[in-house]
Amino acid sequence: MHGRPRKAYKPEEEAASAAKAAKLRALQSQFMSNHHNKIYTKEAVDLSTKLLEINPEAYTAWNYRKLAVEDKLSRIESDPDLIKTILDEELRVVESALSQNFKSYGAWHHRKWVLSKGHSSVGNELQLLNKFQKLDTRNFHAWNYRRFVVELTKRSEQDELKYTDDMIGSDFSNYSAWHNRSVLLSSLLARKADGFLPNKKIPDEYKLVQNAIFTDEDDQSGWFYHLWLLDQTVNVETPLLTSSWPSHGSRISLYAGCSNGSFSKLTTFGSESGYFPLVLNFDQAVGGVSSSTVTIDTELKGNEDLVWEPVSKKNSHVSCVWVARLKYISSEPCFGKEYKVKVKIGNSPGIVSSRGCNFSASYEFVFTAHVHDTVEESSQEGIVSWTDGFDIWDAESKDLNALTTLDRSNAQMDSKWRQEAIAEEIDLFRELPDSKIGKLTLARLLMAKAMISDDAVKGVHYNEILELYKDLMALDSSHYQYYKDVHSVALLRKVTSSTEDLSGHLFRCRNMNNSVCLRLNNLSLSRIASVEKLLFVQMLDLSHNELHSTEGLGGMQLLSCLNLSHNRIRSFSALDSLRHLKQLRVLDVSHNHIGEHSVDTTRYLCSSPLFNSEWTQDEVGRQMPTLVTKYWDAYFVLRDLNLKQLDITGNVIAGDVFSSFVLRVVPKLVWLDGKKLEI
């Protein structure tokens, strides 16, 4: 039960408890000998009954009873009356055990087992449950069992929803009831049951939970339900394509040669390999992107059977971002020509979200690729400097506009009621006197509004959201990091919400042929977000932030120069997502915390390098097994990168040993910590 203080035992109670323990031990040893000798006589079974009535937690005794029941059932064959008697006895034992302790896992489980044996009296179960749920309305064992019985008896979800009405009505601080309500409603809404349309039902649910929240804002149960409702309002089940590179209607210039940050236009791309990435960004992780679900129509030769790869951790088959590499330089001369590329997604089914929803509406986009015959002057041997020489970017907003189209998530959902519901909630929560959870909810609502509305005043919302999170960081220090993260997300959303905002962070790098650099430095970011709006970025400055990881950057497939100096990266494992960046040549991770903490928690999430056959077989691994074992996290990231310039000064790991290791792992490296390497 909740909210009841524990009392210390009195001496006589302690004595009684000791006597009980002695008795229990005697019973237990007797029982165990029965169990081991497979004795299922009446006396033996009665002994287990006695044991369980004293101690319902004796799991072995429950299992013993299962064996005993099986044994009996096997002997009586098919006499329905006898079967019933045997099973009834089990139910009786469970019930008396439960009245001893109704939180006994073993007892509830045994009851489920008995019912699954085809016991017919399931109708009684709900009555029994009502009794236990009256005793303790939030008892999750009872709620779990209730769902089991409901499924077994095929009781309607509407009736169960009504039951949560009653339970919430009698006391609304009941997490279990609210939770069950969300489960039932999800199911009813998903199968579009009669009278359960989201645009009608969700606003009704808001009304209900508002009453709970406003009556007692200190009670958390309602807030949880509110958060769930908000999620139902904002998110759609079916996956959507949120952006792509190249984007629809864009015209890209492709050069042969290296792309060492030497492109002054946003839409220019060059690669030694003669391939350019085609990036698809979905709103949620999907699987099944392949040459059959995504078809490419183009005159560029050699792209008949594209390989689509998910940008995700190893061995995962789902991701928000999928990449295919298109060939633009082939044996035939193709320079100076323009090629149209038409991409069709979802023509044939197969793209499925991790929750099992199909990418339903097929979508098509077209871009033009201009392949230049001149090889761009390569300056790849020069060092890339982040320190100075940045000029404000003279906005070519036409260019930028083309890059940030495809914000189609709104078009596909019936957004009217969603916008109305959220607008109503915002008005309401502005009225609720200051409280932490009120501020947080208001911030979440505003964020949701900004996400699903396309009005021009988004910026105003973001400023309010940022203020709210700042307040919360000051008010509630124990959740500081969470607020910091969502603050970062909101800030990045704001930066990417319009071309005006974004262009304020774009610079020309004078030292580097005026190539365009996105500078998000000094913003105290702790998390990366809105990558889908930044797919075009080739040079990114994230220095002087509070980043712990590069998670999310994997989607920025064009990235060739990345500055992460002066952040809070603690290990190379935190840079894992960079492995997907095939164009990355310049990486600055100086002045972080790499190597400072010997125990890396992510180590235990990866398979241990010592058991990985991969490295022992490759060359570096064979040549210097000790270093690879020591720097395995760096090894796994760096060996997949094609870096020309790396900065790791200011980290604990940096030093001669590590440098020599890096040189072996990254043989093409030209600049290490600002010094040109002698080759």
Q: Applying CB under 8 A, which residues contact another protein? A: 169-172, 210-212, 214-217, 428, 431-433
- Work out how close the CB of 428 gets to another protein at its nearest, in angstroms, rounded to a whole number: 7
Torsion of CA 369, 374, 375, 376, to 10 degrees: -80
Q: Is 259 within 8 Å of 581 (Cβ atoms)?
A: no
- Work out how close the CB of 288 gets to another protein at its nearest, in angstroms, rounded to a whole number: 45
- Work out how close the CB of 189 gets to another protein at its nearest, in angstroms, rounded to a whole number: 24
d(CA 283, CA 144): 33
Closer residue to another protein (CB): 152 or 432: 432
Closer residue to another protein (CB): 189 or 432: 432
Closer residue to another protein (CB): 209 or 402: 209
d(CA 538, CA 260): 9
d(CA 609, CA 629): 7
d(CA 323, CA 548): 25
Half-sphere exposure of 153 (CA within 13 A, CB side): 19
- Work out how close the CB of 202 gets to another protein at its nearest, in angstroms, rounded to a whole number: 18
Q: What is the CA radius of gyration of the chain?
A: 32
Backbone angles phi, psi at 292, to 5 degrees: -90, -30
Q: Is 489 within 8 Å of 451 (Cβ atoms)?
A: no
Closer residue to another protein (CB): 73 or 432: 432
d(CA 506, CA 493): 15
| DSSP secondary structure string for all residues of 196-217 | --HHHHHHHHHHHHHHHHHH-T
- Work out how close the CB of 423 gets to another protein at its nearest, in angstroms, rounded to a whole number: 16
- Work out how close the CB of 213 gets to another protein at its nearest, in angstroms, rounded to a whole number: 8
Closer residue to another protein (CB): 118 or 169: 169
Ramachandran area for residue 341 (φ above 0: left; ψ -120 to 50: alpha; else beta): beta
Closer residue to another protein (CB): 41 or 215: 215
What residues pair up with 286 in beta bridges, in sequence order? 319, 353
Closer residue to another protein (CB): 179 or 591: 179
Element (H, E) at 509: strand 506-509
- Work out how close the CB of 178 gets to another protein at its nearest, in angstroms, rounded to a whole number: 13
- Please name which of 172, 162, 95 lies closest in space to residue 137, comparing C-alpha atoms: 172
d(CA 254, CA 244): 17
- Work out how close the CB of 214 gets to another protein at its nearest, in angstroms, rounded to a whole number: 4
Closer residue to another protein (CB): 215 or 522: 215
Closer residue to another protein (CB): 225 or 386: 225
Closer residue to another protein (CB): 212 or 562: 212
Closer residue to another protein (CB): 211 or 347: 211
Closer residue to another protein (CB): 171 or 364: 171
Closer residue to another protein (CB): 394 or 434: 434
d(CA 661, CA 643): 14
DSSP code of 59? H
> Which pair of tokens denotes residue 372?
């230049």
Nearest 5 degrees, angle CA 216-CA 218-CA 223? 85
d(CA 248, CA 341): 10
- Please name which of 365, 364, 367 lies closest in space to residue 347, comparing C-alpha atoms: 364
d(CA 665, CA 621): 9
Ramachandran area for residue 315 (φ above 0: left; ψ -120 to 50: alpha; else beta): left
Closer residue to another protein (CB): 169 or 655: 169
Sort strands 645-647 and 586-588 into parallel, antiparallel or unpaired: parallel
- Work out how close the CB of 216 gets to another protein at its nearest, in angstroms, rounded to a whole number: 6
Closer residue to another protein (CB): 419 or 435: 435
Closer residue to another protein (CB): 30 or 435: 435
Q: How many other C-beta atoms are found inside a 10 Å radius of the C-beta of residue 541?
A: 23
Closer residue to another protein (CB): 429 or 507: 429
Torsion of CA 296, 300, 303, 309, to 10 degrees: -70
Terminal alpha carbon distance of the chain: 73
Q: Which residue has the tokens 């009278």?
A: 195
Q: Is 246 within 8 Å of 278 (Cβ atoms)?
A: yes
Spatial strand order in the sheet of 506-509? 390-392, 506-509, 515-519, 539-541, 561-563, 586-588, 645-647, 671-672, 675-676
Please report how the helices 175-190 and 140-153 are oriented relative to each other, as an axis angle in degrees rounded to 10. 30
Strands (DSSP E) found in 14-91: none
- Work out how close the CB of 2 gets to another protein at its nearest, in angstroms, rounded to a whole number: 15
- Work out how close the CB of 511 gets to another protein at its nearest, in angstroms, rounded to a whole number: 59
